[in-house]
Amino acid sequence: MQRKFLTNLGLLLFLNLLIKPVWIFGIDLNVQRIVGVGDYGFYFVILNFSFLFNIILDLGITNFNNRNIAQHNHLLNKHFSGILVVKLLLGLSYIVVAFVVALILGYSAEQFRLLGWLALNQFLLSFILYLRSNISGFMMFKTDSFLSVLDRLLMILFCGMLLWGHVISSPFRIEWFVYSQTLAYSATAAIAFLIVVKKARFRKMNWNWPFFLMIIKQSMPFALLVLLMTLYNRLDPVMLESMLPDKMGNEQAGIYASGFRLLDAANMIAYLFAVLLVPIFSKMIKKKQSIEHMLKLSFTIIITLAIIVAFGLFFYSFEVIDLLYDAHIEASTEVFQLLILGFIAVSTTYIFGTLLTANGNLKQLNIIALVGLAINFGLNYLLIPRLLASGSAISSLITQFTMAVLQVIMVQRIFKFRINYRYLSTLVLFIIGVVCFNILSSAYIIHWPFLPDGKAWLGNFGLMLLSSVLLAVFLRLWSLKALLNILHQQR
C-alpha cells in the first residue's frame, strides 16, 4: 500500500503542479486583475454563497461511496443506477433551496443570474466528484489523476481564448469566466460518466424508494460533516459582505479573496493526499492491517511541505502579493499572512480527518466540526466590524488550528498509537530551522546577477526552499533510501 500511495501521489502531484498553477496564476489571477477587485469580490461572494448549500447536492453520498466501494467493489453494479437518480433529485433540490434563500436575502436580478450559473457549476462539480469516488474506490488512481486536472485544463483553454485569443472585441466580463467553467465541468462529467458506466455495466436509471432511504440513512453522518466543514471554511466572505456596507463588503471580500487564493491553491495539493488516503485507509482497516506506518509516511510528507510553504510565504508575503496584484497590496498582505499559516493546520486535518473518516468515526468528527463552526462564526461576528477582512483571516486561522489539534487528539484516543517523542522533537527542530532560514534570507537580500534588483528576493526565496529541503533530508524526515525501498517493493 505504501508503494501504491507514493507512486500515485507522485503522478497526482505532477499533473496538478503542471496544470493548476497555470489556472490560478495565468487565468484566475488575470481575470481578477481585468475585472477589478469589486467585480471579482461580487463573484467571490456569490460563489461562496453557492458553496453553503453544497451539502444538499450530495448529502455525504460521495464520501460514503468512496469508502464503501473501496471496501466492497461489487456494490458498484448494484448501487450506481439508484444513486444516479438520487443525485439528480438532490441537484434540483439544491437549486430550489439556493434560490429561495437568495430571495429571502433580497438578492438583485444580477446576483440571481450569476447564482443560476454558479449553482449549475456546483451540481456538475458534485457529480464529477461522485463519479471519481467510484473510480478511486476501484483503485484506478491513474485515471482519477487525469480526471482531477481535466476540468482545469479545459478552463485554461476556454478562458485563454477569451482573454488573449482575440475572439471577442468587448472587455472581458466576469460572467464569461463562469460560462467557461460550465463548459469545462460538462465535458469532464461526460467523460467520467462514460468510464463509470462501462465499469458498472449500467443500462438504465432505476428509482427504488427503499434503496433511497438506505443510502440517505448511511450517508447522513457524512452529509452533516460536509455541511459543518463547508460552513466554517466558506462563511468568512459571506459574513464580510453581509456585515459591512454594500461597496465596502464587496471590496473587503475581494481583498480576502486575494489573500485566500494562494491558500486555496496550496489546499488543492493537500486535498490530493485525502483523495488517495480515503480508499487506502478504508481497505487497510477492513483487512485489519496496521495503518501506523502509512499514517506517519503521509503525514511526514505533507507536514514538511506545509511548514516550508507556510513559513516561506509568510516571510515573503509582501513580495508575493506585490508580484501578483496591483491594488490593496498592504491589506491583502496582512490577510494573506494570517491565512497561509493555516495551511499547516489544514494539511494536518487532511491526514488525521481522513483516517477518522475511513474508520467510520463520523460522530466524533461532527462534534469537532460543530465546535469549529461555533468558533468561526463567533470570532467573525466579533472581529469583522473592527478589523474587516483581517478579522475574518484571524478567525479562520484560529478555527483551523483548533480543528487540527482536536483531530490529532481524537486519533490518538481511538487508535492509541505510541507517542514518538523523538519524531516530534525532530519536527520542532525542523520548524525552528525553516524559520531561521526565512529570517536570514529575507533580511539579507543577495544581488543575483540573473535577476533584476526588484526581483532579487526570488533568488533568496529559492535559496530558502533549497536549504529547507536539505534540512528535511539531514533530519531524516525525508529519506531517499527509504522511499526507494518502498517503491521497489512488490505490488
Calculate the dihedral angle through the C-alpha atoms of 64, 66, 67, 70, rounding to the nearest 10 degrees: 150
Q: Is 489 helix (H, G, I), strand (E, B) or coil?
A: coil
Q: Which three cell numbers stand for residue 72?
A: 466492497
Q: Are 20 and 152 in contact (CB under 8 A)?
A: yes
Q: Is 444 helix (H, G, I), strand (E, B) or coil?
A: coil
pLDDT at position 84:
80
**DSSP conformation letters of 3-48:** HHHHHHHHHHHHHHHHHHHIIIIIIIHHHHHHHHHHHHHHHHHHHH
Q: Which three cell numbers stand for residue 134?
A: 467510484
Of the candidates 417, 445, 434, the one whose C-alpha atom is nearest the C-alpha of residue 355 is 417
How many helices, marked H, and strands, marked E, lie in the chain? 18, 0
pLDDT at position 206:
66
Distances (CA, A) of 368 to 33, 71, 378, 455: 38, 26, 16, 43
Q: Is 391 helix (H, G, I), strand (E, B) or coil?
A: helix
Alpha carbons 425 and 427: distance in angstroms, whole number: 5
Domain ranges of the chain: 2-417
Where on the phi/psi map is residue 420: left (φ > 0), alpha (ψ -120 to 50), or beta? beta
CA 133 to chain centre: 16
**DSSP conformation letters of 399-442:** HHHHHHHHHHHHHHHHH-PPP-HHHHHHHHHHHHHHHHHHHHHH
Alpha carbons 156 and 151: distance in angstroms, whole number: 9
Crossing angle of helices 457-474 and 292-315, rounded to 10°: 160
Q: Is 170 helix (H, G, I), strand (E, B) or coil?
A: coil
pLDDT at position 100:
93
Residues comprising the chain, all counted: 491
Q: Are 442 and 316 in contact (CB under 8 A)?
A: yes
Block means of pLDDT (10 residues each) for the chain, 491 residues, are 64 76 81 79 83 77 69 65 81 91 87 91 90 79 83 90 79 86 94 83 67 73 77 78 78 82 80 77 82 86 92 91 81 90 92 88 90 92 89 92 94 89 93 94 78 78 92 84 52 43
Q: Which three cell numbers stand for residue 13?
A: 502531484
